Amino acid sequence: MQNLIDGRTISQQIHAETAQRVAALKARGIAPGLVFIRVGEDPASQVYVGMKEKKSAELGIHSVTKVLPETTSQADLLRLIDGFNADPQWHGILVQAPLPKHIDQATVYAHVSPAKDVDGFHPVNVGKLMLGDPTGFVSCTPAGVHELLIRSQVRLDGAEVVVLGRGNIVGKPMASILIQKGRHANCTVTVVHSATRDVKSHCQRADILIAAMGVPEFLRADMIKPGAVVIDVGVNRIKDSTAKSGTRLVGDVAFAEVQPKAGLITPNPGGVGPMTIAMLLANTARAAELAVAR
């Protein structure tokens, strides 16, 4: 359909740019390095890390994956991170979520050096984003959504944006990106959430809607105005007796009914998902560039 925002195509554009940056670094004798740390054998985490490893290799980024037992203590995990923080051959460190329940995720993310926090989760980088300081790393999924909007030539200056969801990974940083005073921002942003009194009325006035609530097919056609841009960040597994596995994945947007009314819309899959890896590897290249500059 003509109104689809093709995340796969746009992510390939970014990968091509990252590959050029990596090649330029290697020409100067710098090999960008990325560490993946996975605790336990969560099947989804295995898939996600495998995809990131494969794309890293394609772009010329050297990566290594450390897999720790589910029973690993928080102290042992932090010690492992300390080693990679101190080793100059590694420019990016990613600790794959979810972590076992006995490990505090916030503590782990805060332990990664801000200079190697290519996931953009360290409090220093979160703070820099809020302050409009461009020297930090931005969380990959909201950064990817931002690139989708920019490269799809969506007008952001002065746009009314509704972000559905106030999570630390997408909702809050997404609002922070778009509310900044500067190029490709200057939006008026409303964040709606589970305690918002009338979500529908907020959504109906939006030029751009970004759904990141984690509620299957929450955003319906009667909630958007004609021509609105709709970005679906959600990944939800629901029951489906017609599927071989008995389940299927859907987004936070009821795509079939919203798509005819939207001006532009991301498919799901094939919209936001590919952008997250693209921004992770772009951040890794930037981390290597910044390390050289220091």
3-state SS, 83-111, equals HHHHCCCCCEEEECCCCCCCCCHHHHHHH
Of 15, 7, 10, nearest in space to 281 by CA = 15
Which phi-psi region, left, alpha or beta, contains residue 110 (left: φ > 0; alpha: ψ -120 to 50)? alpha
Contact 9, 274 (CB under 8 A): no
Q: Which of 55, 96, 180, 232 is catalytic?
A: 96
Q: 4 - beta bridge partners?
A: 265
- Side-chain-side CA neighbours of 78 within 13 Å: the count stands at 12
Phi, psi of 192, rounded to the nearest 5 degrees: -105, 155
Q: Which of 55, 117, 119, 252 is catalytic?
A: 119
Contact 237, 273 (CB under 8 A): no
* Beta strands 229-232 and 264-265, pairing class: parallel
* Annotation says 119 is catalytic: yes
Give the residue carrying structure tokens 């944006």: 161
Tokens of 9: 């195509």
52 is catalytic: yes
Q: Is 275 helix (H, G, I), strand (E, B) or coil?
A: helix
- For residue 222, what is the DSSP state? G
96 is catalytic: yes
Is 10 within 8 Å of 277 (Cβ atoms)?
A: no
Show the tokens assigned to 280: 């992770």
| Residues annotated catalytic, as ranges | 52, 96, 119
